[in-house]
Amino acid sequence: MMEILILFFMDFNMGHHHTNTVNKKNYSRLILSIWLNVLITVSQLIGGFLTGSLSLLSDSLHNFSDVVALVICIIAMWLSFKPYSLKRTFGYKRAEIVAAFLNILVLVIIGVLLIVEAFDRLDEVHVINSFWVICLALFSFVINAFCGFLLHDSKDHNLNIKAAYLHLVSDAVTSLAVAVGGILMYYTGAYWLDSFLTLLISFYLLYIAYSALKDILRIIMHFVPENLDLKEIEAAILQHSEIENVHHIHIWQINDTQTHFEAHLGFKKDTSLLEVEKSLERVKKTLCDKFPIAHTVLQPELKQCHDLHLVPED
């Protein structure tokens, strides 16, 4: 544990100027977050059984999902750096998207299970030791907020880390809600609030899972990224005077940082291979400069295709 803490503080002061430094920093922060969430999960699980609080038990399950999410996140990051091969021409680049999907799926399952249990508990109110509920929930809130802070800088650049970040932040919010509920139960004796809070936590989990799932499914289904417009891409390519049309466009994401693009380019007249290659290089440079496209494949043609639609029809 001390080695992890030392590594974390070393990485925190090294900046963001080199990819290896950032990856090392992410690893150290993820590992630290795992250990802290294991501590929270065990303490809340024991506390939930001793106090009889369903909301505390639900929060412990959510914290356990954080541990699973963070472990999956680290494994996916490790796989994504494995080299390409003859049988895996994209390597394991999509491992992080699969991991993000699994993490969100865990959130959905936990949310549904807690909703079912909360409705069952509403029919039979239990007396709860509110003092320990408050203490353990506040402890969880502080630790998860800290772990969320550790991953904040990286969440906008990696959907896998964003999914883990959402786990941590959502758990910080739910822990705070459990603490507030514990305070209300302590002073009013309204123990039905425990089940009510569990329902609120569950619906909140489903809401944040839905918002993240849309981005993940867009990549899995090879949909056009939201930040790209095919008409704008077509217009940029047709600015090159030698190009007559653009058709059979396919654009997809390998992961949340790598976008691939392929298209057929119809030339206005027959020309030498050397001139075609120069033209293709100019088009690729235009696409690279104006759009976040990492890899481009262009097929030059001279009145070869009969289907000139921007997106090919079946």
| Residue written as token pair 């299970």 | 113
pLDDT at 52: 77
**What does the block give as tokens for 286?**
């235009």
pLDDT value of position 229: 92
Query: What is the rounded average pLDDT of the residues 85-110?
Result: 80
Q: Which residue has the higher pLDDT, 142 or 22?
A: 142
Q: Report yes or no: 305 and 296 within 8 Å, Cβ to Cβ.
A: no
Q: What is the pLDDT of residue 23?
A: 58
243-253 and 259-267 beta bridge pairing: antiparallel
Provide the 8-state DSSP code for 281: H
Residue 147's nearest CA partner among 31, 47, 6, 24 is 31
- What pLDDT is stored for residue 244 in this prediction? 92
List phi, psi (to 5°) of 222: 60, 35
In this predicted structure, the answer to whether residue 299 has a pLDDT above a threshold of 90 is yes
The pLDDT confidence band at residue 298, using thresholds 50, 70 and 90, is: very high
Q: Which fold has domain 230-301?
A: Alpha-Beta Plaits (3.30.70)
Instruction: Give the span between the Cα atoms of 119 and 310, in whole angstroms.
Output: 52
Query: Which of 72-86, 272-286, 298-312 shows the lowest mean pLDDT across its residues?
Result: 72-86
| Res. 3: pLDDT tops 50 | no
What is the pLDDT of the chain when averaged over all its residues? 79
Which three-class secondary structure state does DSSP give residue 233? helix
What pLDDT, on the 0 to 100 scale, is given for residue 243?
94
Q: What CATH number is given for 2-220 in this structure?
A: 1.20.1510.10
CA dist 170 and 139 (Å) reads: 15
Give me the residue spans of the domains in the chain: 2-220, 230-301
Mean pLDDT of 116-132: 75
Q: Are 37 and 66 in contact (CB under 8 A)?
A: yes
Question: Which among 286, 222, 208, 296 is positioned nearest to 252, based on CA atoms?
Answer: 222
Give residue 24's pLDDT band: very low, low, confident or very high (50, 70, 90). low
pLDDT at residue 130, rounded to an integer = 80
**What local confidence, expressed as pLDDT, does residue 265 receive?**
94
Residue 21 has what pLDDT? 44
Under 8 Å between Cβ of 170 and 62: yes
Residue 94 has phi, psi (to 5 degrees) of: -85, 0
Helix (H) / strand (E) element for 106: namely: helix 95-122
Question: In the chain, what are the helix, strand and coil shares in percent, each to the nearest 5?
Answer: 70, 10, 25
Q: Considering the chain, what percentage of its residues have pLDDT values greater than 90? A: 18
- Straight-line distance from the first to the last Cα atom of the chain, in angstroms, rounded to the nearest whole number: 57
Does residue 86 sit in helix, strand or coil? coil
Spell out the residues 6+ positions from residue 48 whose beta carbon is closer than 8 angstroms to its own.
54, 56, 57, 59, 60
pLDDT of residue 314: 61
Q: How much of the chain exceeds pLDDT 70, in percent?
A: 88
- Cα–Cα nearest to 54, from 142, 131, 128, 140: 128
